[in-house]
Amino acid sequence: METKSVKQKVRDFFSHPETQFILPSALLYVGIMIFVGSLVMFGFGVAPTLFKVLPTKDMAGMANQAILSRMVILQGTALLIMGFSLILLRNWAGASIRKSMWFTLGCITIIYAVYGIFLQDVMLSMQNTIGSFDNPVESGKKALTQFRQLHKLYSFLSSLASLLAIALMILHMYINRLTSKSPTPA
């Protein structure tokens, strides 16, 4: 009986059709979990707690901004992980399925760019005009109203991106169920 080298065993493992499906699928789910989980944790755990615990809105806002800047990086990384996993899944299903998954990821990425980069930057730049969120200057009250509207848009877009990420996961699971237990390249 011939024994395989470790290198050959590793090569066989990664060239096996099920491994070529399972590992990229796991990466896709990890990316989705990081993307959605960061928004859920921030939206329901971190931000409300900061505004409840810290003595002023200004302090809570500064803490939120520091966390949001890191969350944008985390979410961008999650989008890269999802994209990389879709590249690895390129032979998994038919062209229309792959295109729909790429389209969904593209929509998530565009929405992320709007709320995570553009809106966040605009809202950050409005802070000087507003002055203090606890006691806004008279000239900053209009900016405060705009800030609140942008914050509502930010919340809506981030929720929409999360729902699309969950839809991407459901699409992947549903199509996997239809294709078979042991996927074959299309």
Query: How far is 25 from 68, CA to CA, in rounded Å?
Result: 28
Q: How many CB atoms lie within 10 A of CB 112?
A: 21
Residue type, 41: M
pLDDT (tens digit per residue) in 110-121: 999 999 999 999
Token pair belonging to 21: 């499906």
Q: Are the beta carbons of 86 and 105 closer than 8 angstroms? A: yes
Instruction: Please give the backbone phi and psi of residue 131, each rounded to the nearest 5 degrees, phi first.
Output: 85, -110
| Continuous segment of H or E residues that includes residue 14 | helix 6-15
Q: Which residue has the tokens 């409840």?
A: 52
| pLDDT higher than threshold 50 for residue 186 | no
| pLDDT higher than threshold 90 for residue 171 | no
Asked which of 8-12, 101-105, 106-110, 115-119 is least confident by mean pLDDT, the reply is 8-12
- pTM score of the predicted model: 0.83
Query: How far is 29 from 137, CA to CA, in rounded Å?
Result: 46
Residue type, 153: L
| Continuous segment of H or E residues that includes residue 183 | none
Please, what's the b/e burial string for 120-149 (b: 16 or more CB within 10 A of its CB; e: otherwise)?
beebeeebebbbebeebeeebeebbeebee
Token pair belonging to 119: 């809106």
pLDDT (tens digit per residue) in 36-94: 999 999 988 899 999 999 999 889 988 998 999 999 999 999 999 999 999 988 877 67
| pLDDT higher than threshold 70 for residue 169 | yes
Asked which of 8-12, 21-25, 112-116, 139-143 is least confident by mean pLDDT, the reply is 8-12
